[in-house]
Structure 1
């Protein structure tokens, strides 16, 4: 905790760096609370995560103080907010999180946002703590990496052409007879009876809950974004995943380190939330797919 904050700054930023070093050296706990600068006093806000052990506190310090200042501030109110508290529970400092990897320490005082060095590590860390909406920032990079941007048609068609899409998406052949009769859009509107039929067929073909989770996450992660993934077949797949226990889904995600499965988890979490279990399960996959950028070379 006594190590200086690792920030690449200019001469005029030295006071802010020294201030950060001081408040972090006295921090006993780190809280992540709801809302940004427009939510008023910190007291009374929902605490979404709290860190007290030295290792976690130091990880939070590194992730939120390593980077570069931009000499300006984001005009949005940001959120959630990082709060540092001393041993007596008094607030030492706070910082609003602004979008992808931007941290605003005491914005009204310093007016100098920090773009963190490893934004994906920061969002994964927060997601692993159960802070909502942190995995969302991975959706666009995953869509680019896996070429999931939708084209035409937006939704899978029926019949023989539709079957080709099902094969490409890794949908088990046992489900083809019932699915080819409906478009992708109609799959998002199936009755409970039809969903039960799909569920029974899949369970009979793949009795293992973890095995079904792998199939479903991979299927969900191959759907074009946004229409099919969010409102078409994606609805059906999420209904099927809802029957599985969280440990089985987490095990499937941790053991099957593919971009498809990681994308499926992000899609699922966006619609049903996560206490950090699924974020932790796909963390290694996302770090492998999106490694941190190399540090810039320094000159003497």
Structure 2
């Protein structure tokens, strides 16, 4: 079983880059079960997909293929079946792919975690400045040492600070939380509480990711393992979306993602 780059519009499978190749029989069996168990949607996604699973026989002849369409949606032989499958255990599927080197799997968890934590943004999109925004700082678990610097700023302004301002905040936070693991835990929990997308991407989220940039990935992963809350896990997903992941973050939050987003029971004859 191969996972290759590109969806329905990417040309012949043999000409595409191979993102991962599953050779172990038990791994292939697990991948097959994960990609064929679920419920049919009765429709197809309008996008071509960005990754394709290709199943070959022992002699290398293609048996069948399926394109992946976001979180948990797969389309087997789309031109023939015209019926996408929403798999029963999306978390397990994307974690399996990520573990075998398929890129950009962790960011796919952004949407289900946004729904789970009800982080859909309202109005205003960014935290207001002054007393109107004080409660937001508390609700987002912003470290108290940073409240004086952030209170006069809107969330949008917080995402566009100068290097001097960012360094000053980093120094304040480091003085209050010298341990990089503790500091990472504070920042991830804060990041994982921000509304999606504006504040989390371009407002306070940009500030937090800058502060996390000075912390080694191993310490960030340790913080995520030590406090596998939904908000911390969401913070890691946000970080991976913007700065990538070499597998360190995937390993750290995999168990939390499986717990937060369990498989959906599949009724008989639904796959």
TM-score by length of 2: 0.88
1:256 corresponds to which of 222, 227, 232: 227
| More deviation, 95-104/212-221 | 95-104
* Residue 6 of structure 1: aligned partner: none
1:93 alignment partner, SS class: strand
1:221 corresponds to which of 186, 192, 196: 192
User: Hey, what's the Cα distance between the residues in 2 that align with 1:264 and 1:76?
Assistant: 28
User: Hey, what's the Cα distance between the residues in 2 that align with 1:142 and 1:115?
Assistant: 17
With over 3 angstroms needed to count, the CA separation of the structure-2 counterparts of 1:125 and 1:295, relative to structure 1, is same
User: Hey, what's the Cα distance between the residues in 2 that align with 1:297 and 1:105?
Assistant: 20
* Residue 173 of structure 1: aligned partner: 144
Higher relative contact order (CA 8 A, sep 6+): 2
With over 3 angstroms needed to count, the CA separation of the structure-2 counterparts of 1:196 and 1:91, relative to structure 1, is same
Map 1:86-165 → 2, pairs under 5 A: 86-165=57-136
Contact in 2 for aligned 1:35/1:81 (Cα 8 Å): yes
With over 3 angstroms needed to count, the CA separation of the structure-2 counterparts of 1:70 and 1:179, relative to structure 1, is closer
Bigger radius of gyration, 1 or 2? 1
Aligned length: 269
User: Are positions 1:36 and 2:7 aligned together?
Assistant: yes
User: Hey, what's the Cα distance between the residues in 2 that align with 1:114 and 1:244?
Assistant: 40
User: Hey, what's the Cα distance between the residues in 2 that align with 1:147 and 1:104?
Assistant: 28
* Residue 244 of structure 2: aligned partner: 273
1:66 corresponds to which of 24, 37, 40: 37
Cα deviation per residue 1:91-137 (whole Å; 9 max; x = unaligned)?
A: 44322112332322333344454332222322232233343343344
Cα deviation per residue 1:188-231 (whole Å; 9 max; x = unaligned)?
A: 10011111111111111111111111111100011122211111
2:65 alignment partner, SS class: strand
- Aligned CA RMSD, in angstroms, stands at 2.3
| More deviation, 70-79/43-52 | 70-79
